[in-house]
């Protein structure tokens, strides 16, 4: 008797499986939580549509203790997930942003973007820029969302993300350097365990051929039109526009047991080598793996990472 199981086209377990009939089975990152006032952090949140044509929203966060005329630093955050799983509405991201908004006393815009394989790259980059244009529409206090009109300080704007979201945050910094968002001053960018890669192994990457193959195959899966792993979109150190990164400060978090760790250090090294005009710092967490802070937020290392991040947003 013939099997009725569909044939697998791509198996990216534990992230997702894609079948030859086109079905996509996301194995994780599917849970969502509603926006609400979080009693633990006293941070309020709500969802606002920024791209009706693609049914995309941002989740806004604001500390409830903000006064009527108080302006706070503004963080635009891009979630991770290899460009193919997760969302701003997942419990991991919702809880993390609540804690970060409270610790740093900032306004946060957490961006939803289209994901592969239904929408291959560069869709995620295009959506993220559109979200930034929507954010920038509030510069003069006349945008559609009152929280941003009243409380976002557009002279203290930050971009951040983890993994693939860190890749997006970097790309948005480059794009802002080339196509300025009028009235928006990007003070800094925080990259948490950034998803960067390259054809030539750096650091300890050569020791794990299986993981290298996974990363390279995933990149080509999410971006079929890519030139490969030395595409500037995945390997920023070969990008001729790297010096156009538009902010004053960059903080890169890496984790010792993360295969992407060496890439974060290499990115830091390259910014220094090319004479980029800002300040760049790396913070390495020993004994931890990729995005550990999202999955184990109560551990000491995650607390230290949160404290370091909040201090970055509050440093003049």
> Does 138 qualify as catalytic in the annotation?
no
Q: Which residue has the tokens 């549509």?
A: 49
Q: Which of 99, 137, 160, 163 is catalytic?
A: 163
The size of the chain, in residues, is 316
Interacting residues of 186 by C-beta distance below 8 A, sequence separation 6+: 157, 158, 159, 173, 176, 246, 247
Lateral strand order in the sheet of 43-51: 43-51, 56-63, 107-111, 72-78, 152-162, 186-192, 249-255, 279-285
Q: Which of 94, 128, 258, 293 is catalytic?
A: 258
> Does 153 qualify as catalytic in the annotation?
no
Interacting residues of 226 by C-beta distance below 8 A, sequence separation 6+: 121, 219, 220, 233, 234
Token representation of residue 210: 């299986």
Nearest alpha carbon to residue 164 among 61, 103, 86: 86
Q: Which of 92, 120, 193, 290 is catalytic?
A: 290
**Burial (CB count within 10 angstroms: exposed 0-12, middle 13-18, buried 19+), residue 287:** exposed
Q: Is the peptide bond before 117 cis (omega within 30 degrees of 0)?
A: yes
Output the CA angle 33-162-176, nearest 5 degrees.
110
Nearest alpha carbon to residue 116 among 105, 103, 100, 127: 127
Residues with catalytic annotation? 163, 258, 290
């Amino acid at each position: 008797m013939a099997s009725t199981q569909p044939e697998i086209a791509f198996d990216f377990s534990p992230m997702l499986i894609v079948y030859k009939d086109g079905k996509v089975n996301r194995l994780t990152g599917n849970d969502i939580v509603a926006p609400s006032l979080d009693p633990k952090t006293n941070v309020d949140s709500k969802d606002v549509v920024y791209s009706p044509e693609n049914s995309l929203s941002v989740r806004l966060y604001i500390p409830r203790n903000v006064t009527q005329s108080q302006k706070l630093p503004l963080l635009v955050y891009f979630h991770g997930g290899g460009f193919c799983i997760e969302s701003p509405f997942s419990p991991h991201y919702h809880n993390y942003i609540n804690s970060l908004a409270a610790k740093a006393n900032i306004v946060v815009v957490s961006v939803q973007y289209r994901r592969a394989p239904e929408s291959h790259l560069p869709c995620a980059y295009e959506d993220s820029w559109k979200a930034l244009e929507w954010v920038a529409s509030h510069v003069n206090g006349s945008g559609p969302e009152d929280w941003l009109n009243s409380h976002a300080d557009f002279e203290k704007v930050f971009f951040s993300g983890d993994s693939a979201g860190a890749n997006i945050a970097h790309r948005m910094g480059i794009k802002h350097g080339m196509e300025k968002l009028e009235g928006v001053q990007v003070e800094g960018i925080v990259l948490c365990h950034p998803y960067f890669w390259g054809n030539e192994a750096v650091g300890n990457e050569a020791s794990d051929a299986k993981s290298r193959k996974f990363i390279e195959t995933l990149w080509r899966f999410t971006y079929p039109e890519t030139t490969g792993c030395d595409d500037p979109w995945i390997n920023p150190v070969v990008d001729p526009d790297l010096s156009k990164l538009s902010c004053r400060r960059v903080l890169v978090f890496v984790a010792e047991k993360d295969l992407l760790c060496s890439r974060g250090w290499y990115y830091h090294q390259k910014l220094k080598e090319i004479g980029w005009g800002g300040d760049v710092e790396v913070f390495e967490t020993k004994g931890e793996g990729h995005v550990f802070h999202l999955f184990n937020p109560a551990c000491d290392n995650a607390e230290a990472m949160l404290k370091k991040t909040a201090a970055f947003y509050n440093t003049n």
